[in-house]
Structure 1
Amino acid sequence: MCTGARGVKMLYDAFFKEVMDPEYAPQRLSDFLSAVLGAPLRVKTALPNDTTRLTDESSLLVLDIVVEFEDGRIANVEVQKIGYLFPGERSACYSADLLLRQYKRLRDERKKQFSYRDIRTVYTIVLFEHSPEEFHAYPGVYRHCFEQTSDSGLKLKIPQKFTYIALDIFKKKQHNEGDRIHDRLEAWLTFFCRDEPEMIFRLIEGYPEFTALYEDVFELCRNVEGLMEIFSKELLEMDRNTVKLMIDQMQEKIDAQEQAIQQKDAELEAVRQEKDAELEAAKQQMQCQAESFEQRIAELERKLAER
């Protein structure tokens, strides 16, 4: 990075917050989120991130910020170096937490004037540098959007929406297409995940407004000592991520093995019960045969006595 052989990792917490700070440059984050969500949005302010996220899980995030738009909608933007296991379940929990925070805040502000129609949409936007296994079943798709729908066609306003972006899949797709940048969303994703100088030049040529963002990072990198401190912290976080992922995967493997053992035990118990039933049936059959033999012997003895 210092010699210019590679660009910086824009998704590192320090760099992202420097160039995308909603207080310093809200228009940048507004532009990025508008491209992600496919509609013009303006960021009003950053909200305190006091979710109920567990400490060990929050340490896995490269970035986690919550912003409020001018129309009251809320977006939680996460960047995960290594994708969590169970991404859907986790996102649903944190989205519910943000929705509850919004409900409590609006209820306290408006008191008796509060109505559930005041609730605004909560977006959960997750960017994966290394996406979970499920996403690789769709190798040509890097953006996935979710919202709740009815199987009957009934329309209800359910204010929770989710967007997942797999940057590793995007990079591979972009490389296979000759490193072309097709639209503004791809321009932003290129800015975040491509650090090759030729791609940086290509992005600036097509979208010169990104020059100012790179200049901000350049100023940050002039402090080499501070840059190394940032890099050391990011490496430490990456190590923690890797260890936690290994623990999660090992626990998942242990759970699967325990389930297999329980299933095998159940199968063996069923076989044992079946064998016991067969033995009991054979025992009863032999007892019946013995009683029949005893009756025949008694009959023969009676006939002999009569002679």
Structure 2
Amino acid sequence: MAGILQKYFPMIRTRREMLEVIFEDERLSDVYLGWSEEQRLEEFLSLVLGQQVKILKVIPNDSARIADESSLVVMDIVVEMEDHSIANVEVQKMGYRFPGQRSACYSADLLLRQYKRVRGERGKGFSYRDIQKVYTVVLYEKSPGEFQNFPDDYIHHFSQSSDTGLAVNLLQEYCFIALDIFLGIVQNKGIRNKLEAWLLFFSTDDPGEMEVLLESYPEFRALYEEIYELCRNVEKVMEMFSKELRELDRNTVQYMIDEMQEEIDGMKRELSDKDTILNEKNSELDKRDQEIDRLKQQLKELQDTSRK
């Protein structure tokens, strides 16, 4: 099966070939043997949040989790970190109006699940000061329209602050990453740091860009090897693709319906505004016509008086 895929994707190597490359280089072999999936996510979150992150455990999504089947989610993982703060990392194919209200709801959901867990563990000893920060990290393959107003910025950090400078720990922080904008930037400026290496790994399937990534950061070979090994199972990949394609089609239709409805609603509002303005103008014209009729009547009366 590897030969079939290599016919179309020459850059794909077998597991044996990749392991030979990795273990020929002592540094690469140390990285490959030393990394776990948690460590990979730890490094990525550390770079995104600008602080050292240690993952304590991956938290399963519970029934209270706010969900929307038509959100075109690519990945959704919730982790608890060593300091007991919680991070939700999510990759969305489309913006789907996620950045504002929905993100706040996700963040509130994280706080609530942490509150329930900590209160259950501490019992009478519970204090609200036991509640740690929650981070909502969203990566967009295609970012929402408002992100396009910032073509030079692909990552946006949000936190709550006062208008006076008073510092109160309100716990909720957000990070939005626009992968489409990032790709435009990296094509012009190249990979400038490890965070951008991770983002390029997430966002590109272009062989040339992948080669540049591997030359600059050879440790990503191990990750590509895992992906290529999965691709060798053609039957499994085709089965996954067919399921995802059906879900994507259904979700895309719903997305388009929502977008069209929003556009129709906007046009209705514009027409309503125009009708209001038109009615006001018609009212003004009626008043002018009445004033003209009044003046004409006065003129007629004056002319009649002058003739007598």
Aligned to 1:14: none
Asked whether the equivalents of residues 135 and 172 of structure 2 are also in contact (C-alpha less than 8 Å), the reply is yes
Partner residue of 1:53 out of 60, 67, 71: 67
C-alpha deviation, 1:66, in angstroms: 1.1
Q: For residue 262 of structure 2, what is the amino acid of its counterpart?
A: E
C-alpha deviation, 1:256, in angstroms: 0.7
Partner residue of 1:64 out of 63, 76, 79: 76
- CA separation in 2, counterparts of 1:181 and 1:284? 78
Instruction: Give yes or no for the alignment of 1:43 onto 2:58.
Output: no
Per-residue CA distance 1:134-183 (angstroms, 9 max, x = gap):
11111121111111111211111011111111111111111112xx3221
Q: Which has the larger radius of gyration?
A: 1
C-alpha deviation, 1:5, in angstroms: 4.9
Partner residue of 2:5 out of 2, 5, 17: 2
C-alpha deviation, 1:72, in angstroms: 0.7
Assess, with a 3 A threshold, how the Cα gap between structure 1 residues 253 and 5 changes in structure 2: closer, same or farther. farther
Q: For residue 120 of structure 1, what is the amino acid of its counterpart?
A: Q
Per-residue CA distance 1:19-61 (angstroms, 9 max, x = gap):
xxxxx6211111111111111101111212231223433xx21
C-alpha deviation, 1:283, in angstroms: 8.6
Secondary structure of 2:87's counterpart equals strand
Give 1:1-307 correspondences, 5 Å limit: 2-3=5-6, 4-5=9-10, 25-50=37-62, 51-57=65-71, 60-85=72-97, 87-177=99-189, 180-274=190-284
Assess, with a 3 A threshold, how the Cα gap between structure 1 residues 56 and 82 changes in structure 2: closer, same or farther. closer
Assess, with a 3 A threshold, how the Cα gap between structure 1 residues 251 and 74 changes in structure 2: closer, same or farther. same
Asked whether the equivalents of residues 6 and 196 of structure 1 are also in contact (C-alpha less than 8 Å), the reply is no
- CA separation in 2, counterparts of 1:112 and 1:246? 50
C-alpha deviation, 1:282, in angstroms: 7.8
Aligned to 1:16: none
- CA separation in 2, counterparts of 1:245 and 1:197? 31
C-alpha deviation, 1:112, in angstroms: 2.0
Structure 1 gaps, min length 5: 8-23, 301-307
Q: For residue 156 of structure 1, what is the amino acid of its counterpart?
A: V
- CA separation in 2, counterparts of 1:42 and 1:290? 94
Asked whether the equivalents of residues 83 and 132 of structure 1 are also in contact (C-alpha less than 8 Å), the reply is yes
Asked whether the equivalents of residues 123 and 163 of structure 1 are also in contact (C-alpha less than 8 Å), the reply is yes
What is the TM-score normalised by the length of structure 2?
0.79
Assess, with a 3 A threshold, how the Cα gap between structure 1 residues 209 and 285 changes in structure 2: closer, same or farther. same
Secondary structure of 2:164's counterpart equals coil
What is the TM-score normalised by the length of structure 1?
0.79
- How many percent identity over aligned positions? 52
Per-residue CA distance 1:60-98 (angstroms, 9 max, x = gap):
211111111111111111111111125222211211122
Asked whether the equivalents of residues 70 and 251 of structure 2 are also in contact (C-alpha less than 8 Å), the reply is no
Secondary structure of 2:107's counterpart equals helix
Structure 2 gaps, min length 5: 13-35
Assess, with a 3 A threshold, how the Cα gap between structure 1 residues 115 and 286 changes in structure 2: closer, same or farther. farther
Aligned residue pairs total 277
Q: For residue 252 of structure 1, what is the amino acid of its counterpart?
A: E
Assess, with a 3 A threshold, how the Cα gap between structure 1 residues 282 and 198 changes in structure 2: closer, same or farther. closer
C-alpha deviation, 1:259, in angstroms: 0.9
